[in-house]
Amino acid sequence: MEDRVLLITGASSGIGAATARAAAEKGYRLVLAARSVDKLDALAEEIGTDRVMTVSCDVTSIDDQQAMVEKALERFGRLDAVFANAGRGGSPGGFSGADPEQWKDMLLTNVYGLGLTLQATLPALKESQGHMLLTGSAAGRATIPGSMYSASKWAVTGIGHNLREELRGTGMRVTLIEPGMVDTPFFDERPSHAMKDEDIANAAIYALSQPAHVDVNEILVRPTPAVE
């Protein structure tokens, strides 16, 4: 993995930040993107700024995403892998009572923003026969009453499978990372029984570390059930 370039969206905290730390230990050069530049800069300082660049990016803006890729190529000359990780949760209330504006923000981030990341980064990834990782969710494989968030992650699951078919025969790889409950800033109240963000970072690094002829299609990761 030495000197390969990995771009991570939603990199300022949680799974994105944990993956950045783990990838840096493996020798990756990193492009870290998020809206929170202060957090990104602090993470870059922790990792070592000579191998890291930070980019302010709202994933719902195609201009931001294209500028992100242009800056990455100017700095490092290539992209070898992209972790499309930016996402957000929904609001309580089910389909009958949730805040529709929060729905809008969530769907634009989780679905439309993901699509823009693919569109902005795929040309560079095709040049390197690179690897695309998507943060889905165990919620994208289950039926959850009244959950628009779950529906958005079903969409991510579909995007991952459809992207793999689009890229078939190109030598590129697509991996869906599908976590169950993870203790990250994603939640307002910390879950009592959950995995750590480092656990999901380890799954991403596992997929990235496979030889070119091995395509890890999906990694579904759930916490071990509590001991009764």
Instruction: State the catalytic residues.
Output: 149
Question: How far is CA 76 from each of CA 39, 97, 116, rounded to the nearest angstrom?
Answer: 22, 47, 21
DSSP structure class, residue 110: I
Taking each helix axis as running N to C, give the angle between helix 100-107 and helix 148-166, from 0 to 180 degrees, rounded to the nearest 10.
20
Residue holding tokens 């095709």?
A: 126
C-alpha 79/C-alpha 200 separation (Å) is 22
Beta bridge partners of 173: 131
Beta bridge partners of 196: 183
Whether 153 and 89 have beta carbons less than 8 Å apart is answered as no
Strand 81-84 to 5-9 pairing: parallel
Contacts of 119 (CB under 8 A, 6+ apart): 62, 65
Nearest to 160 by CA among 104, 69, 57, 85: 85
